[in-house]
């Protein structure tokens, strides 16, 4: 049997060495914010090849969409060598089996490597991985890591998050949160740091972007892709700039949920009924307070209702207008099922999707969001974006069908619902009597005679 040196006919580039050395020293988590064409996926493929022959285990390379994974990893060809990238990283002589349908390679060592998609966490089943790569993490479903993190930890495995920025979303949050954690290796590399991209390539990219999107967007794309800037919204995003503005204006913050006002819900009930997001909100003084967000971990309607009931969210449940047309497999519609479980379902207005998006934009511009409770929901709103037609070089009128799509649909229903709620006004708290002695010796109170009498009556009632 021929001898194969791993990594196969490849060495880390100088700027990749710190990450490689950190991994060899036992750092099991890394966030690599590297510029476009910095060799992120090649680096991870060759690292995985070494890992798979050091420890017999399962290894996954995860893309945001499963169909994208085939094109970007499984079928990708190195333009410099004309060979498939997986053949360079995983020479066929090392393999016992290659399954093109499931995008799986089984090595003679016993390890198995798979290409998967984060768009459907339910598909990430089977033997847990000892090595996990999230490629294009900025576009991936962050719920996938929440789902897999305890599995990887229990397996004493490692996880890598590689991406170029796509606005100020969960990829920026992970990098900023973990860059000072000694158990994580975090690195942001621009073209100035690596010198890997000639200036002419950057200038040509800018020219192409200007022709497609105009000078302002072109500059933002250059900053994101080559200089790893988190500033600016994702190109093609419907709501990202509005969410960023809400943060800048201090409307994304933690606050106490007011028990004097009912908490209503807005549901996106897709035909498959799979993990439909639920937005929870109050209307106080004519403004929407978005207090919570649920992306269920199960497909059980009972679990969803239990979650809402335990939190006391028992207002109106706003559901899509076509809910009566979809059966849950029990002979009853979802509308009937919710009502039978003590909920209060109500159909939202039947308007066009674009009218709903207009309402969503207006709502984001007014809403106050609970930062901690709504983190995943806000990420979904940031990532909800138009689909790009690579042949026509323009955005389609339809959104990308990924993890953010249903989150945005649910918020669209919230936006159509809250304006029709009764405009309850928060009553001012009654004054309690306070007195102070002025320098002249006069005792001065803080209330009128009537307010003072009412305060004394309240005090006597409390003491009775």
In the chain, the number of structural domains is 3
Between 420 and 129, residue with greater pLDDT: 129
Residues 440 and 364 in one domain: no
pLDDT band at 332 (very low <50, low <70, confident <90, very high): confident
At which residue do the structure tokens 């009853």 appear?
332
| Mean pLDDT across 120-140 | 84
Q: Which residues contact 97 (CB under 8 A, 6 or more apart)?
A: 104, 105, 106
Structural domain includes residue 211: no
Rg (CA), the chain: 27
Share above pLDDT 90 across residues of the chain, in percent, rounded to a whole number: 69
| Mean pLDDT across 22-50 | 97
Residues 407 and 455 in one domain: no
CATH value at residue 262? 3.30.420.280
Answer yes or no: are the C-beta atoms of 377 and 442 closer than 8 Å.
no
Residues 154 and 255 in one domain: no
| Mean pLDDT across 204-213 | 93
Examine the pLDDT at 1 and tell me if it is beyond 70. Answer: no
Residues 74 and 153 in one domain: yes
User: Residue 35: exposed, middle, or buried by beta-carbon count in 10 A (0-12, 13-18, 19+)?
Assistant: buried
Give the residue numbers spanning the domain of 412.
247-420
Examine the pLDDT at 2 and tell me if it is beyond 90. Answer: no
As a whole number, the mean pLDDT across the chain is 89
Residue 441 has what pLDDT?
57
Answer yes or no: are the C-beta atoms of 455 and 430 closer than 8 Å.
yes
**pLDDT, tens digit, for every residue of 433-443?**
565 656 665 56
Residues 149 and 52 in one domain: yes
Residue 67 has what pLDDT?
86
Residue 119 has what pLDDT?
77
CATH value at residue 103? 3.40.50.300
| Mean pLDDT across 442-452 | 64
Structural domain includes residue 226: no
Examine the pLDDT at 426 and tell me if it is beyond 60. Answer: no
**pLDDT, tens digit, for every residue of 181-195?**
999 999 999 999 999
Examine the pLDDT at 239 and tell me if it is beyond 80. Answer: yes
3-state SS of 93-156 is HHEEEEECCCCEEEECCCCEEEEEECCCHHHCCCCCEEEEEEECHHHCCHHHHHHHHHHHHHCC
Examine the pLDDT at 391 and tell me if it is beyond 90. Answer: no
Structural domain includes residue 89: yes
Structural domain includes residue 358: yes
**pLDDT, tens digit, for every residue of 154-208?**
999 999 999 999 988 999 999 999 999 999 999 999 999 999 999 999 999 999 9
Residues 409 and 454 in one domain: no
Residues 298 and 447 in one domain: no
Cα 26 to Cα 33, 56, 58, 283, 316, distances in angstroms: 20, 17, 18, 50, 51
How many Å apart are CA 384 and CA 399, to the nearest integer? 7
Structural domain includes residue 320: yes
Between 333 and 212, residue with greater pLDDT: 212
**pLDDT, tens digit, for every residue of 243-299?**
999 999 999 999 999 999 999 999 987 655 557 899 999 999 999 999 999 998 888
Structural domain includes residue 300: yes
Residues 313 and 341 in one domain: yes
Structural domain includes residue 7: no
**pLDDT, tens digit, for every residue of 147-156?**
899 999 999 9
Examine the pLDDT at 97 and tell me if it is beyond 90. Answer: yes
Examine the pLDDT at 460 and tell me if it is beyond 90. Answer: no
**What are φ and ψ of residue 137, in 5° steps?**
-55, -30
**pLDDT, tens digit, for every residue of 334-355?**
788 889 999 999 999 889 999 9
Report which of 77, 81, 92 is spatially closest to residue 4, judged by C-alpha positions. 92
Report which of 13, 11, 144 is spatially closest to residue 69, judged by C-alpha positions. 144
Residue 453 has what pLDDT?
65
Residue 232 has what pLDDT?
75
Residue 427 has what pLDDT?
53
Taking 3-state DSSP, the helix, strand and coil percentages for the chain, each rounded to the nearest 5, stand at 40, 20, 40
Residues 278 and 386 in one domain: yes
Between 186 and 452, residue with greater pLDDT: 186
pTM of the model: 0.82
Residues 354 and 434 in one domain: no
Structural domain includes residue 340: yes
Coil, strand or helix at 163: strand
Structure tokens at 80: 């410099």
How many Å apart are CA 395 and CA 385, to the nearest integer? 9
Residues 253 and 302 in one domain: yes
Q: Which residues contact 108 (CB under 8 A, 6 or more apart)?
A: 94, 95, 96
How many Å apart are CA 123 and CA 104, to the nearest integer? 14
Residues 251 and 331 in one domain: yes
Residue 110 has what pLDDT?
97
pLDDT band at 123 (very low <50, low <70, confident <90, very high): low
């Amino acid at each position: 049997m021929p001898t194969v040196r791993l990594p196969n006919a490849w060495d880390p580039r100088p700027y990749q060495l710190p990450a490689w050395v950190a991994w060899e020293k036992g750092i099991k988590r890394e966030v690599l914010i590297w510029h476009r064409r910095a060799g992120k996926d090649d680096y991870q493929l060759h690292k995985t090849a070494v890992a798979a022959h050091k420890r017999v285990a399962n290894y996954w390379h995860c893309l945001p969409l499963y169909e994208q994974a085939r094109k970007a990893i499984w079928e990708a060809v190195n333009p410099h060598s004309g060979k498939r990238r997986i053949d360079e990283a995983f020479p066929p002589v090392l393999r016992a089996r290659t399954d093109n349908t499931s995008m799986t390679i089984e090595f003679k060592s016993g390890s198995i490597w798979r290409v998967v998609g984060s768009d459907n966490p339910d598909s990430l089943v089977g033997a847990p991985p000892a090595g996990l790569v999230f490629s294009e993490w900025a576009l991936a479903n962050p719920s996938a890591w929440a789902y897999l993190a305890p599995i990887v930890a229990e397996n004493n495995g490692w996880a890598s998050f590689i991406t170029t920025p796509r606005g100020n979303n969960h990829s920026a949050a992970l990098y900023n949160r973990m860059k000072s954690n000694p158990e994580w290796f975090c690195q942001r590399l621009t073209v100035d740091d690596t010198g890997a991209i000639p200036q002419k390539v950057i200038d040509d990219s800018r020219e192409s972007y200007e022709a497609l999107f105009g000078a302002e967007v072109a500059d933002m794309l250059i900053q994101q892709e080559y200089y790893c800037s988190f500033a600016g919204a994702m190109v093609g995003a419907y709501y990202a700039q509005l969410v960023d503005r809400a943060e800048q204006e201090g409307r994304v913050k933690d606050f106490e949920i007011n028990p004097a006002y009912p908490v209503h819900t807005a549901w996106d009930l897709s035909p498959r009924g799979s993990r439909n997001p639920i937005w929870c909100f109050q209307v106080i003084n004519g403004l929407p307070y978005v207090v919570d967000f649920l992306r269920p971990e199960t497909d059980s309607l009972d679990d969803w209702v239990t979650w809402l009931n335990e939190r006391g969210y028992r207002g109106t449940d706003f559901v899509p207008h076509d809910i009566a047309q979809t059966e849950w497999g029990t002979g009853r519609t979802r509308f009937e099922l919710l009502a039978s479980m003590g909920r209060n379902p109500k159909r939202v207005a039947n308007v066009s999707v674009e009218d709903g998006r207009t309402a969503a934009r207006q709502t984001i511009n007014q809403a106050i969001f609970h930062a901690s409770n709504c983190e995943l929901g806000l990420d979904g709103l940031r990532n909800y974006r138009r689909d790009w037609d690579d042949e026509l070089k323009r955005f389609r009128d339809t959104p990308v069908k990924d993890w953010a799509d249903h989150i945005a649909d649910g918020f669209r229903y919230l936006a159509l619902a809250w304006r029709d709620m009764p405009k309850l006004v928060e009553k001012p708290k009654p004054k309690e009597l306070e007195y102070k002695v002025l320098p002249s010796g006069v005792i001065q109170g803080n209330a009128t005679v009537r307010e003072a009498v009412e305060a004394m009556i309240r005090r006597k009632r409390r003491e009775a």
